[in-house]
Amino acid sequence: MRGSNAVLVVLGLSAALAVAACGSGGTAAGPAASGTPAAGAGTGAAGGPGEAGSPGARPPAPASAPAGSTRVLSKAELRTALVGPGDIKGWTGMEMPMEIGKAQLSTRPADCQPIENIRTGKIKPESAAYAFTTVGPDGGGSPTALTQIMLASFDGGGAQQVLADLRTALTTCTRYGGSIPKPGTVAALPAPKLGEEALSYSLTSDGKTQELIVVRQGSVVAVFSPSAVSGGTSAKVPQEVLAGQVAKVRTTAG
């Protein structure tokens, strides 16, 4: 995957992720050593390819996690957890340094805010640390196969709160305006069976549609955002990328 081209084409709806990246709390991963993935956003897999239920299914309730049972990963550990060359056959990642600004425009209506927070990477509650990568076909390939991945770790029950807030928003929010150039249309999708809990939904704006996936594994929230495609075609996260990233987070977290 060629770094400069990858960054330009993957942004799509998630341009804010590359410009203002994740949770407002941590420090974006710095330049990676050779072989470390790139910064981005979109899905990870804990056990294997996601299994879809019926379209439009309501997001499932989160699995309960014992208090104090998860370790909060540091910035260095999150960078280690990003998928890189050799982690997923046929795919590679390129890490990029990113910083997230504090400012965040409010959505209209307000109950859509958690969805916009995921899109821009300015997740609430604030993360303890975060890191990004962009994953694409090994050796080049179609630019529409690029996926941005953001990993963010949270203190206390922050990771669970992120999923809970997003789940609530997906039950009521179908369309909103805010920082995206044009109003966006939102639709809940069947959640993949990944990590300790996961959510999936589509976001369409200005003729481009993405199917985003958010997965929690312990104290880490992984956001997968594929490159947006115009003409009504949905950009999707490759299942092997989804599964490989969630598995590496689980391994890193121990």
- Quickly tell me which residue has 């056990």 as its tokens: 47
Contact 144, 40 (CB under 8 A): no
Would you state the pLDDT for residue 102? 67
* pLDDT bracket for residue 230 (50, 70, 90): low
The two three-digit tokens of residue 65, written as one number: 């996690």
Q: How many residues does the chain have?
A: 254
Question: pTM of the prediction?
Answer: 0.76
More confident residue, 59 or 4: 59
Identity at 53, one-letter amino acid code: G
Where is average pLDDT lowest: 63-72, 80-89, 210-219? 63-72
Within 8 A by CB and 6+ apart from 174, the residues are: 185, 186, 187
* pLDDT bracket for residue 100 (50, 70, 90): confident
Average pLDDT over residues 174-179: 91
Domains of the chain, residue spans: 3-30+71-253
Whether CATH 3.40.1000.70 fits 3-30+71-253: yes
- Angle of the 113-120 helix axis to the 158-172 helix axis, nearest 10: 120
H-assigned helices in 45-199: 75-81, 113-120, 158-172
Average pLDDT over residues 233-250: 92
Whether residue 202 has pLDDT greater than 90: yes
pLDDT tens-digit map of 159-176: 999 999 999 999 999 999
Would you state the pLDDT for residue 38? 32
What is the chain's alpha carbon radius of gyration, rounded to the nearest angstrom? 16
Percentage of the chain modeled with pLDDT above 70? 67
Would you state the pLDDT for residue 1? 58
pLDDT tens-digit map of 2-46: 443 333 333 334 444 444 433 334 433 333 333 333 333 333 333
Q: How far apart are CA 69 and CA 80, in angstroms?
A: 21
| End-to-end Cα distance, the chain | 30
Of 155, 195, 131, which is closest to residue 71 (Cα–Cα)? 155
Of 100, 210, 200, which is closest to residue 148 (Cα–Cα)? 210
The two three-digit tokens of residue 76, written as one number: 């260095």
